[in-house]
Structure 1
């Protein structure tokens, strides 16, 4: 008993299957005693019948033990913590049914009942069910693919190839819930697995975004860079709960016809946080250049915001 206390799974299995183990022991003892009898066992009344039914009961006992073991594994923290609840329920229920069906067929065969017609019927029935549930099975196997490959997980912010964007709410065995800003979109797993998905949480949950500005040729670029950097750093300090904690990056990227293009690269803690962080940074930069106007720098003439982009870097 000390060993069983140290192995909770073994102890749980033993409590579930002790009766089946007792049946197996009785059958084993009966076979041993029967084999110890004098020769010509075939002359012993009921010998063949006993052997067949002993095999039948033994196979059913082993089948029931395996079913119980699967149930204990599902309930245990070892397996339960590794599988999503809906996937766990479907997987282990299917496994129990498969074990029970196979065990029943083998047990019937052991007492002389031909299982060939049953297998043929199961084959035809499986084809009919497969055709009738083609879409459902497609979603089911796609759900297993999403679980095994893990391209997305609950809480991830994703964008599909059709432009749909939102946070993954729940991944079920048939469909996935996508929480958008307006409502909840339910997507069949088969369509999701065949779609290109941009996951903003991979490989890291942080999200970079750009602010692109146009700076006049008359501007002092060093002064512009310092002003933008100071304004961005001020916003990042005050919104530290939204920022990823990295310093802003400023780059003059190209010459336009009447201006120089400046790109400010920032990193938010998560993809949803970048909207509010961008909002605050733009306000700070606008305020900084209104103050620069008092120093003789006209932001309307020298510094013009041309676009706000949320592209990843």
Structure 2
């Protein structure tokens, strides 16, 4: 039978048991990958992947139902009726679409889980997964038009060159942000969960990376404010990453004391106060030293190293509270601010 829109023979050759089994095996592979390779993922990652698996199971249930109906009617005498005979290619195409959706969803989930395996700390940017899904969908759609609908793509692509140029100019900013986002991920400039500092001219923007989308990178600031920066802008700015593993972050605090204070004891007590904070690294060890002196007294600077950039202010508050308490217990007072008023006669 020569159908008007669908190449029936090509479609029926695709919808065989082997294709059905291969698609089922792909979904099973995605499930087994989760069970065997992502046991150490965080609870948030487990919840996210389980949600994807539940959605995938629904697609597979629809695909299996349509495929079984197609095979049942294909091998029975019910299609002998002229009306049902004309509907057979359309039911076959519906089965093909359901299988293609399962194929894309399963492949997407496998890529997502593979990236999760390499970044279980905070997750992965959905940009890479979305790009993979888009490319796979486009390739599958072009193959469908060529083999199922019999459309010759070469003349169509040749005549669409002018349209592609116009579309590219219209989407210049969007495409620039897209490719900038891809380059940021290829270069591993930062990952989700990293604390970064973006220098835009004289403006400094600090936040924790929450998501990387097609157009922008979303940061969460110290006050939980959402900061959205175009990927193209970040690619052109100086970016400092404060979250690489094995690289401690240096922080310091300065406390002033009056003359006559026992300097060696002050230095020892400040270093002891810092070592009592569990979030401060033992190596390199905290260090206190005299920074400067003036007519009011002297200033001592305490430097220490931390791993969590986002908790620097909370840690600094703990250091200051512990240090003042320890100094007070040892009878050492800090310098009090003084004001000198000179009266002119």
Give the TM-score of the pair, scaled to structure 1: 0.61
Is 1:95 matched up with 2:136?
A: yes
**Is the contact made by 1:210 and 1:263 (CA closer than 8 Å) also made in structure 2?**
yes
For the residues of structure 2 that align with 1:11 and 1:288, how far apart are their CA atoms?
Answer: 60
Matches within 5 A, 1:293-312: 293=331, 299-300=334-335
Change (3 A) 1:154 1:84: closer
The yes-or-no answer on 1:167 pairing with 2:236 is no
Contact 1:67 1:99 in 2 (8 A): no
The answer to whether the 8 A contact 1:146-1:152 is kept is yes
Question: Which of 157, 165, 186 is the equivalent residue of 2:228?
Answer: 186
Matches of 1:244 and 1:252 in 2, distance apart?
Answer: 18
1:32-43 equivalences under 5 Å are none
**Is the 1:214–1:262 Cα contact (8 Å) retained in structure 2?**
yes
Separation in structure 1 between the aligned mates of residue 162 and residue 324 of structure 2, nearest angstrom? 72
State the distance in 2 between where 1:136 and 1:254 align: 51
Aligned to 2:320: 282
**Distance in 1 (alpha carbons) for counterparts of 2:209 and 2:153:** 47
Residue 223 in 1 paired to residue 265 in 2?
Answer: yes
Summarize the Cα distance change of 1:300–1:85 in structure 2 as closer, same or farther, 3 Å threshold.
closer
What is the 5 A alignment of 1:241-260?
242-246=279-283, 248-252=285-289, 256-257=293-294
For the residue of structure 2 that corresponds to 1:170, the secondary structure is strand
Any stretches of 5+ residues in structure 1 without a counterpart? 20-64, 305-313
Q: Displacement of 1:220 after TM fit?
A: 3.4
* Number of aligned residue pairs: 246
Residue 150 of structure 1 aligns with which residue? 188
Map of 2:300 onto structure 1: 262
Where does 1:72-91 land on structure 2 (aligned, <5 Å)? 72-75=106-109, 78-81=110-113, 82=115, 84-91=125-132
C-alpha separation in 2, matches of 1:192 and 1:135: 14
1:128 CA displacement: 0.8
Tell me the secondary structure at the aligned position of residue 211 of structure 1.
strand
Using the TM superposition, give the Cα deviation of residue 69 of structure 1 relative to its aligned residue in structure 2, in angstroms.
6.0
Distance 2:319 2:148 in 1: 73
CA RMSD of aligned residues (A): 4.3
- Tell me the residue number matched to 1:272: 310
- Decide which structure has the larger Cα Rg and report it: 1
Paired position in structure 2 for 1:46 = none
* Pair 1:227–1:85, CA change in 2 (3 A): closer
How far the C-alpha of 1:131 sits from its partner, in A, is 0.4
Distance in 2, matches of 1:144 and 1:195, equals 16
- Equivalent residue for 2:241? 199
Contact 1:139–1:188 (CA under 8 A) maintained in structure 2: yes
- Higher mean alpha-carbon deviation, 129-138 vs 82-91, is at 82-91
Residues 97 and 67 of structure 1: CA distance in aligned 2, closer, same or farther (over 3 Å): farther
| 1:131-155 C-alpha deviation (Å, 9 max, x unpaired) | 0111111111122223322322222
1: distance between equivalents of 2:281 and 2:174? 42
With the length of structure 2 as denominator, give the TM-score of the two structures. 0.56
Going from structure 1 to structure 2, the CA distance change for 1:208 and 1:285 (only over 3 Å counts) comes to same
* Aligned counterpart, 1:310: none
Contact 1:267 1:274 in 2 (8 A): no
* Cα pair 1:160 1:198 within 8 Å, conserved: yes
